[in-house]
Structure 1
Amino acid sequence: MLLRLYTDENAHVGDRRLVDELVRRAREAGLAGATVLRGRIGFGTRAGPIHQHHSLGVGDNMPMVVEIVDVEERLRDFVAELGGLRHIGLATIERVEVLTIAANQTGG
């Protein structure tokens, strides 16, 4: 399964970026893998701002997506533990077909 967590570049948990915290927690939870993607442009609600690059980078707050792969039960348990975190705009889960696993991966 693939879990996607949508947020933005300026979202923080204390002094740590939210995306960094999500990846750290996914690793600590023993999930199979996580990747952070930085979007070029996006928005979260009809009334919300469009997140995009501004000239000279002033006021940038780019959309970010954290993708995490594992079995469904572990991903749902992981999301349940994120309840106290703010600034996760959307969480989605979908079935994916794993075609290959990196050669350096070990059992589990």
Structure 2
Amino acid sequence: MMRPTGRAVRVTVFIGENDTWHHKPLYTEIVHRAHAAGLAGASVFRGIEGFGASSLIHTSRLLSLSEDLPVAIVMVDTEERVRAFLPQLDELVTEALVILDDCEVIRYIGRDPGSGETDAKGKKAL
């Protein structure tokens, strides 16, 4: 499977951690559909505090009653693949903020330290 390097589009979806799709977390469904669609990557980040359209502040502080913390799902791929995936997001989300950003992908690839490979200056890889 080819992975993008260079120009790409990042999709960020902001939802609440208590949002569900057929009795399971919505973020799980989004990640699994992104994987099935062949997107290059998706990650879920749980916020410690935030607010959205409701203007209600959700926080993880001990004395707070709020448990519906903010969640961000971040996905990256080519613009063509991302735009093809958007109808699935339309199906899944009823209340969310979805942001599309142009970005540049820089891919770091690990090397086997025992391979003896050297860099452009003749230094061995760590």
What TM-score comes out, normalization by structure 1 length? 0.83
Output aligned runs, 1:10-89, within 5 Å. 10-45=18-53, 47-55=54-62, 58-89=65-96
Cα offset for 1:59?
3.7
State the SS of the aligned residue for 2:91. Answer: coil
Compare relative contact order (CA 8 Å, sep 6+) and give the higher one, 1 or 2. Answer: 1
Count of residue pairs the alignment pairs up: 103
Cα offset for 1:87?
4.3
CA RMSD between the two structures: 2.0
Cα offset for 1:11?
0.3
Cα offset for 1:50?
1.1
- CA distance in structure 2 between the aligned counterparts of 1:44 and 1:102, rounded to whole angstroms: 37
What TM-score comes out, normalization by structure 2 length? 0.72
- Give the direction of change, closer, same or farther, for the CA distance of 1:34–1:88 in structure 2 (3 Å limit): farther
- Give the direction of change, closer, same or farther, for the CA distance of 1:58–1:51 in structure 2 (3 Å limit): closer
Residue 70 of structure 1 aligns with an amino acid whose one-letter code is D
Cα offset for 1:86?
3.2
Residue 87 of structure 2 aligns with an amino acid whose one-letter code is A
Cα offset for 1:78?
0.7
- Identity of matched residues, %: 34
Q: Provide runs of 4+ in structure 1 moved above 6 Å.
A: none
Select the structure of larger CA radius of gyration.
Answer: 2
